[in-house]
Chains A and B, each alone.
Chain A
Amino acid sequence: MKWSTGLLALLLAAAGLLCGAPASADESGWVRRVEVDGWVEGARSVRIRSPHDALLSRLWGRLKLSADIGDLYGHVSIDAQQNWRVEDETGFELHEVWAEYAADGWDLRIGRQVIIWGKADGVQITDIVSPPDYTEFITRDLEEIRLPVDAAKFRLLGDKIDVELIWIPVFRAAVPPSAGNPWDVEPEIPEGVRVTASSAEEPEVSLENSEIALKVSAFLSGLDVAASVFHTWDDRPAMHRTVSRREGGIDVHFSPEHHRMTVFGLEFSRPWSDFVFRGEVAYYLGRYFEPESVTGDPSRKNALNWLAGIDWTPGNDWSVIAQAAGVFIVEHERSLAAEQHALSGTLNVSKKLLRQTLTLSNMLYYNIRQQDFFDQLKAEYAVTDDVRLIAGVDVFGGGGDGVFGRYRDNSQVWFKAKYSF
C-alpha cells in the first residue's frame, strides 16, 4: 500500500471516529477548542470523445486541524491524494499551516495560507495573490484550484475601513498541467519548426524579490469598496524565445521567465432589492503578452482587466449570476496573440430542490472573439447530512485555439462522491 493511500485510510478512519463524536472538543489548559474536520472525495470521469478514457480518476482527502493555543489561533490542513490519471499528483502535501493573533483593532496571520481577493465569480481580476493550480484546468472546485502562499498578513481593523498589508517573501508560481497530463495540450507548431524548452526561471528568495500588497477596504451601508496595489511577480512565465535557423527549418528554444509587475486594483459591490451589482478593475503595469508567431518574443505592456457582474436571487431557491469581463492592452501591437480588447462572459444559474438537498447548476464561460466556451452542468445531491453525490458534464467547444476550444477533446462526464466530517 502506498503511503498516500495509507494517509487516506487514516483520514477515513478519523472521519469514521468523528461520525459518532462531536467534531470539536473543549480542552482544559493551554490548548483550547480543538477542532478536527475535513473531507474525502472520490472522483472518476469518462471522456465523451474517443478514446473514452478517464480524464479524472482520483481519491483525495483533506484533514483540517484548528486550535486556540494561548492567545494564538492555529490552523493546519493536510492533503493526501491517490491519482490514477495524473500520477505526479499522488502524494501528500501540507496545504495550509498558519498562526493568527487577533487583538482589539488589528490581527496578524503568519504562515502558508490561501488569500482570496475580489468580488468576481470564478474569474480573477484583482484576485491574484494566491496563484491558481491548473492541473485539471478550471474543472475543479474553487477550493482546490487556489494555491496557498507563504505570507504574513497584517490587518488594521477600523469601524468601517480595514487596511490590509501582505508580505510574501517566497514566490510561488501558478501550476500548469504537467507533461503527460491530458490537460497539457500542446499548441500547434508550424511545419519545419523544432521546439525545445528549458524550465521556468523563478526569482530567488531575497528581500528585494518579496511581493508586497496593500489593500484598503470599506464596508458601508449598501456599498463595499476597496482599492489595492500589489507589487508582485507574474505567476505565469513569459515564454521568451531564442530562434536559430538550420537546414530545412528553424529551431525555437523557449526560456520561460517570471517578471515583476505592479497591479492597481479597484472593486465594489452594491446590493439593490434582489440584486447585487459587482465590479472590478485592475491595471497591470508591465505584463508580458505572448506573440502570435512561434518565433516572436513576448512584449511588455500595460493592460486593464475589468469585470462587471450582477447577482440575482429571485426567490424559490433560484440564483443567477451573470458577468462580463475584458482585457484591454494599452499600445497594442498586431504581432500579439491577444486582441487589443478581449471580451468574455460567464453565466451561472442554479436551483435548489427537495428541501435544498438537490442542487442543479450550470456554469458557462464564453470567449467572444474565439467563440469558444466551457460549460459545466452538474447535479449535487445530499444523500445524508455528510455524504454528497455529484454528477456533471464538462463540455468544451467552439473554434480555434482559444483557451477553452483547445480542450474540445477533453469534454467529459464525471461522478464524485464526497464525505465531509
Chain B
Amino acid sequence: MDWLAHTFDGLLGLALLWLAWQAMHAPGLFRSVVSYMVFGLVMALIWVRLEAPDIALAEAAIGAGATGALLLSALARLKDGSDAGRLHWRHPAELVFWLPFAAVTALVLGLTAWQLPAPGLGVDVARTLGQSGVDNPVTAVLLNFRSFDTLLEIGVLLVGVVAIWSLGPAPSPIVPKMPSPALPALGRALFPVFVLAATYLLWRGSHAPGGAFQAGAVMGAGGILMVLAGARPWLTGEEQGPWRWLLSLGLVAMLAVAVAMAALAGTFFAYPPALAAPLILALEISAALSIALLMFAVYLCGRPPDHWEAED
C-alpha cells in the first residue's frame, strides 16, 4: 500500500501548486479567493500527512476559515470592475528576470532544506519535556522553550488590529443584508458549540495537539458568525470600551510573566520547573482570549462605532 500513500501525497502536492497558481492568476477575484481557501484546506491535509496535527488545526481554522471570511467580506465591499487593476503578466520579457529568479530561489531553498540536520531538535525537546510543565512538545516549544517567538506573534496580530482600526471606522452596514434567515439562526444556535470546541482545544493543548492559537481561531470564527447573526461588538465607547484591553491581554500577560521571571531568576522567560505548568496554563488562556478577539477585531475592517445605530 506504500505506493498508494506516495501517489496520494504526490497528488496533494500537485494540487497545492495548482491552487497557488489559481489563487494568483485565476480570472476574477472571486475565483482567486475561493482557490486560496481551498489552498488552506489542502495545506491542512498536507500537514496531517506530515504528522503535524497542531499546524493542520491552525491552518484549517486560520488559513481557510478566518482568512477566507475576511477575504470574502472584503471582496463583497469592492466596487464592481475593481478587477481591472489586477496585475497580470504585462510583458513576456519580464520572464527573463522572473524565471531565473524563481529557479535560483528554489535551488537555494532546496539546498538549505537538504542541509538541515537530520534529527532536528526533536531529540532535545523530548529530553527536556519533563521540565517544561506540559506533555505536548508543540505547546512546550511555543510557550516555554521559544516563548519569545510566541510573544512576537501575538504582538504582530495586535499591531495588525491597531493598524486596521486606525485606518478608519468600520463600514456601515457592518454585514451585508442576509438573503436568508437560516444563517443568523444557525449562528445563534451553534455559538455554544464554538465555545465548547474552543475550550476543548485549549484544555487539550497541554497534552495533545491543540492550544491557544487553535482555540482562539475557533472562538474568533464563532464571533464572526455571531456578527453575521446580528450581534454587535462592544469594544468601543465609554461604557464598554475598557473591554478592548482584552485585545492586548495575551501580549501584556506574556510580557508581565517574562519580566517577572527576569526579576526572579535573572533570565527572560525562564520559568522555574515548579511554576511552569500553572504559568503556561495562564498564558494559554490569556493568549487564546486575545487571539479570539483579535481575529474578530480584524474582521470588523475598521474601528467599530461607539454606539450602534439600529439597523433594519
> Are A and B genuine complex partners?
no
B residues in contact (CB < 8 Å) with A: none
